[in-house]
Homo-oligomer: A and B are copies of this chain.
């Protein structure tokens, strides 16, 4: 499998890409690809002169608070990219780091210019970015109005659905190289409470999280227990081209 397959797969959900467009993605993915390990790709306040495609592994976007606490704002799974709009303001507003080992391609204004020559491809990227925005909105609801139990269940449902969409699940299991503390920073919960909530989810036969691996035992049950409605992920949208211009 080529390194850019997953990236292409994500974008192909939003437009039918021709040979030239595939080739350009190949090129951009190969050009400045690096391996990172538990590393920071960019830091809040850095000049916004580059953005990223995660080709393999997992990264997250986050902000640090004055007291050192961290709020994770979103995950970049294999195949996910940053919104090119990041380049529009002088400084970036949040940091990005990778978990474990990851392959990441760095894009610049120059890459964006190349992409801009393919309106169909740019359209796919914008539609893709629009979905990411929708996910961000759901996260406000998640940390705001749901209980710890629902939050965690909802997050796992979301992760499963996003990973499954590009074939990164095995049955109802998937790899998740995070710690319980990372989950806490995502859901605005203490590590201790994440631990207790995970045990509760296991006790109810809904899911287990062991050895950096999530196993969902009862997806319908988890979905209804956490109020998960996948509409906001826009995975079942009509084929590209069949709706409003």
Contacts and interface: CB of A to CB of B under 8 A. Distances in A.
B145 A188 contact: yes
A223 B145 CA distance: 25
A66 B143 contact: no
Q: Which of A49, A69, A85, A123: most chain B CB closer than 10 A?
A: A85
A235 to B, nearest CB: 11
A6 B73 CA distance: 31
Nearest to A66: B227
Contacts of A48: 244
Interface residues of A, number: 50
A1 interface: no
A137 interface: yes
A243 B90 contact: yes
A126 interface: yes
Q: Which of A49, A131, A188: most chain B CB closer than 10 A?
A: A188
A245 B109 CA distance: 7
Contact of A89 (B47, B130, B143): B130
5 contacts: A65-B145, A66-B227, A93-B138, A94-B137, A136-B140
Interface of A: 45, 47-49, 61, 63, 65-66, 69, 71, 73, 83, 85-91, 93-94, 109, 123, 126-127, 129-131, 133-134, 136-141, 143-145, 187-188, 227, 231-232, 234, 237-238, 243-245
